[in-house]
């Protein structure tokens, strides 16, 4: 099972579409637009919950999704090693952090201003985005 610290990152893989394929036929995980968009949503949610004292992650839902995700990613044909390598890659983490930070800035988040994180979190929750469903207001 994918480790708990990867819950936000891992839970997104299950949302990718497609059938079973051989590992050599699959594009690298980083090239899948849906997977990357979903991972970005999870990364945004994780950053919001870290900096907003009135927003928490929906841990039970995230853990359930992580388990479902692992099963689904395997169904797509990705091996545990491929998934783990993608999630552990510092290069991929740096890339995702840069995309996350760009989104946060574009949506009015200011480092050090907790309320700006909370404002975005409340907006994501209200819109029912993937980021929003992974969060709850306390």
> In tens digits, what is the pLDDT along the chain, a chain of 138 residues?
444 445 555 454 444 333 344 556 788 878 877 778 878 888 999 999 999 999 999 988 877 766 766 777 778 888 999 989 988 999 999 999 999 999 999 999 999 999 999 999 999 999 999 899 999 999
Unique residue bearing structure tokens 């637009």: 33
Number of domains present in the structure of the chain? 1
Residue 107 in any domain: the answer is yes
Residue 111 in any domain: the answer is yes
Q: DSSP character for 4? A: G
Residue 21 in any domain: the answer is no
Secondary structure string (H, E, C) spanning 10-73: HCCHHHCCCCCCCHHHCCCHHHCHHHHHHHHHHHHHHHHHHHCCCEEECHHHHHHHHHHHHHHH
What is the span of the domain harbouring residue 50?
4-16+26-135
Tally Cβ neighbours within 10 Å of residue 64: 13
Residues 6 or more apart in contact with residue 126 via CB below 8 angstroms: 132
């Amino acid at each position: 099972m994918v480790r708990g610290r990867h819950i936000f990152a891992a839970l997104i893989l299950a949302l990718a579409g497609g059938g079973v394929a051989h590992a050599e036929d699959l594009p690298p995980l980083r090239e899948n637009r849906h997977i990357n968009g979903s991972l970005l949503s999870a990364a945004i949610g994780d950053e919001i919950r870290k900096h907003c004292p009135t927003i928490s992650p929906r841990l039970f839902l995230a853990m359930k999704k992580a388990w479902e995700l692992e099963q689904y990613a395997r169904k797509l044909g990705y091996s545990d090693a491929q998934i783990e390598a993608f999630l552990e890659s510092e290069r991929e983490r740096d890339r995702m952090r840069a995309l996350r930070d760009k989104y946060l800035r574009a949506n009015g988040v200011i480092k050090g201003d907790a309320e700006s994180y909370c404002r975005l979190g409340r907006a994501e929750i209200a819109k029912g985005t993937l980021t929003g469903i992974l969060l709850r207001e306390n």
